[in-house]
């Protein structure tokens, strides 16, 4: 019977019929070994991150720093009064998500969060066309979602997770510095992203939303995790979709 430990360092002899399986496991372990960092290497990563964060915070080195340390204008974590229905948008790749978030309290006066969401694929012509085309498509997806959940008549507070480099000027105002992840919609860079969204909603004219905040995926992760664990103080995104 096959018996292989999780670290592949304690294996028993087994029939030849299992040799191909073991070979594959050993091959995978060899590949993964390249990603295992020693303690000294981890300390070096920490040191470099700290250096770049410091450079990002300094006026004289901010421009060339790889970690920009851009302000978010999010000054606190949830305090408990944030109850009700909210709409959330998440744009950070080729898929766009619309979510209805219901925040309430349970019998123990703890947060109770219920969500309903739908993913929409963003067509290439919207990604690489004009800003108006992209945000009109986003507004179209919002309209579809509101119809399906019979809430088009409600003017809900809306939070927008926008996972691209943005220079915030307020909690609901941010200038797109540059596109990434294959997006090239013209007329967006250098402009207020929330303004582009509001204009698209206004052009449709079949629903209203109160866009109250725009954040990136790191901040959104921290805030959402805070509802599960109130000791959460840091959000982190490692690569795409992680």
Establish whether 181 is a catalytic residue: yes
Say how many C-beta atoms besides its own lie within 10 A of residue 185's C-beta. Answer: 22
Q: Extract the runs of DSSP E, i.e. beta strands, from the chain.
A: 84-91, 95-105, 111-121, 156-162, 166-170, 173-176, 209-215
116, 155, 181, 202: the active-site residue: 181
90, 136, 172, 217: the active-site residue: 217
Kindly give the parts of the chain with pLDDT less than 50. 1-8, 10-12, 241-242
Q: Per-residue pLDDT tens for 100-157?
A: 999 887 666 667 889 999 999 999 999 999 999 999 999 999 999 999 999 999 999 9
Q: Is 234 exposed, middle or buried (0-12, 13-18, 19+ CB in 10 A)?
A: exposed
**Domains of the chain, start order:** 13-69 (no CATH), 84-226 (3.30.420.40)
What pTM was estimated for this model as a whole? Answer: 0.77
């Amino acid at each position: 019977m096959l018996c292989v430990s999780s670290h592949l360092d304690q294996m028993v002899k087994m029939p030849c019929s299992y040799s191909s399986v073991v070979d594959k496991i050993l091959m995978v372990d060899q590949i993964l070994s390249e990603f295992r960092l020693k303690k000294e290497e981890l300390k070096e990563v920490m040191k470099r991150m700290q250096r770049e964060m410091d450079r990002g915070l300094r006026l004289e080195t901010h421009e060339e720093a790889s970690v920009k340390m851009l302000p978010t204008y999010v000054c606190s974590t949830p305090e408990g009064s944030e109850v009700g229905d909210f709409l959330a948008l998440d744009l950070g790749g080729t898929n766009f998500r619309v979510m209805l978030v219901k925040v309430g309290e349970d019998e123990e006066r703890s947060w109770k969060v219920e969500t309903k969401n739908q993913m929409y694929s963003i067509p290439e012509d919207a990604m690489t066309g004009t800003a108006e085309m992209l945000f009109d498509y986003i507004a179209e997806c919002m309209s579809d979602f509101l119809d399906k959940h019979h809430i088009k008549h409600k003017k809900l507070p809306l939070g927008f997770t926008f996972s691209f480099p943005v220079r915030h000027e307020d909690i609901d105002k941010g200038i797109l510095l540059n596109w990434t992840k294959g997006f090239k919609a013209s007329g967006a860079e250098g402009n207020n992203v929330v303004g582009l969204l509001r204009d698209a909603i206004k052009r449709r004219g079949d629903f209203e939303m109160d866009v109250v905040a725009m954040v990136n995926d790191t901040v959104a992760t921290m805030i959402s995790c805070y509802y599960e664990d109130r000791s959460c103080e840091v959000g982190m995104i490692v690569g795409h979709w992680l």
